[in-house]
Amino acid sequence: MNRFIDSHTHLFVEEFDEDREAAVQRAIEAGVTKLCLPCITSSSIAPINELCTKHPGVCFPMVGLHPTEIGDDYKEELEKIRKELDSNTNIIAVGEVGIDLYWDTTRRNQQIEVFETQIAWAREKNLPLAIHTRNAFDELRETLDRCRCKELRGVFHCFSGTAEEARKLLQYEGFMYGIGGVVTYKKSTLPETLKEIPLERIILETDSPYLAPVPRRGKRNESSFIPYIAERLAEIYGTTVEKVANITTANAEQLFGIV
């Protein structure tokens, strides 16, 4: 059986309350043997840690403040998240962090400030970043360039940018592209964009419970659907699912230090 990693799943959210343990087992049975859990706010920390305690070697924690969750209390939130980062030696990444100007631009400056703070944490702790970006490509590049160092690494989570954006991001050599269910959608331009990205720079993700791949589109997404994404990538790259599995799994293991 092929072995996969879901590099980005929100398994701890309420959508999984009725069958969370079953979802873990379905993932394992589908060959998805490692699940990376991105943090959204400080309230995510406890349920993420609970899952990681129940499933050591399967579930792995990240910690970070999501850009759309930045409110008036963001400094207090950062303090709580920093405390977890300092105390939990099992954390594999600082994430989910970044800049999102799709819904609201009024906190643009605060989002950039918080992103820069968490980039500094990643550098200090020698951890990768799980970066969320929406309607903020220029802000992303400007921020990364200001905070850049050769050791900085991570993943552009849920990448769905243009071919030009894909080419520009290749210069950040320590970063992978997180590819999920969007690549399977009929009207998606991502298959064309992927011509600019070598398979050696890709890791797989679901972003579950969101963005379920075809043929499960419209349903709740879960980690056991990763093989559908791998099958589509095999078609795009003209290779086998086995090769996609081997390369993307090795990429994720190396990036997150979960070999």
Cβ 97 vs Cβ 65: under 8 Å: yes
With 90 as the cut, is the pLDDT of residue 148 above it?
Answer: no
**pLDDT interval class at 151 (50, 70, 90):** confident
The answer, yes or no, to whether residue 149 has pLDDT greater than 80, is no
| 3-class SS of residue 35 | strand
- Residue 220: name the closest of 173, 181, 176 by CA: 181
Q: Parse the chain into domains and list their residue ranges.
A: 4-256
Q: How many residues does the chain have?
A: 259
pLDDT of residue 255: 98
CATH topology of domain 4-256: TIM Barrel (3.20.20)
The candidate with the shortest Cα–Cα distance to 174, out of 123, 128, 120, is: 128
Q: What CA dihedral angle connects 21, 64, 133 and 233, to 10 degrees?
A: -40
Q: Which residue has the tokens 């405390």?
A: 83
**In 30-135, which residue ranges form alpha helices assigned H by DSSP?**
45-54, 74-87, 108-125
Q: Alpha carbon 79 to chain centroid distance? A: 22
Give exposure, 36-55, as e/b (b: 16+ Cβ within 10 Å). bbbbbbbebbebbbebbeeb
**Global pTM exceeds 0.85:** yes
For the stretch 174-198, pLDDT in tens is 999 999 999 999 999 999 999 999 9
Q: What mean pLDDT do residues 60-67 have?
A: 98
pLDDT band at 118 (very low <50, low <70, confident <90, very high): very high
pLDDT at 142 over 80: yes
pLDDT at 150: 73
Nearest CA to 10 out of 171, 118, 157 is that of 157
Share of the chain above pLDDT 70, in %: 100
> Does the N-terminal peptide bond of residue 128 adopt cis geometry, omega within 30 degrees of 0?
no
pLDDT digits (tens, 9 = 90+) for 1-47: 999 999 999 999 999 999 999 999 999 999 999 999 999 999 999 99
Residues contacting residue 197 through CB under 8 Å, at least 6 positions apart: 166, 170, 177
Instruction: Supply the mean pLDDT for the chain.
Output: 97
Report, as an integer, the average pLDDT of 197-216: 98
pLDDT of residue 17: 98
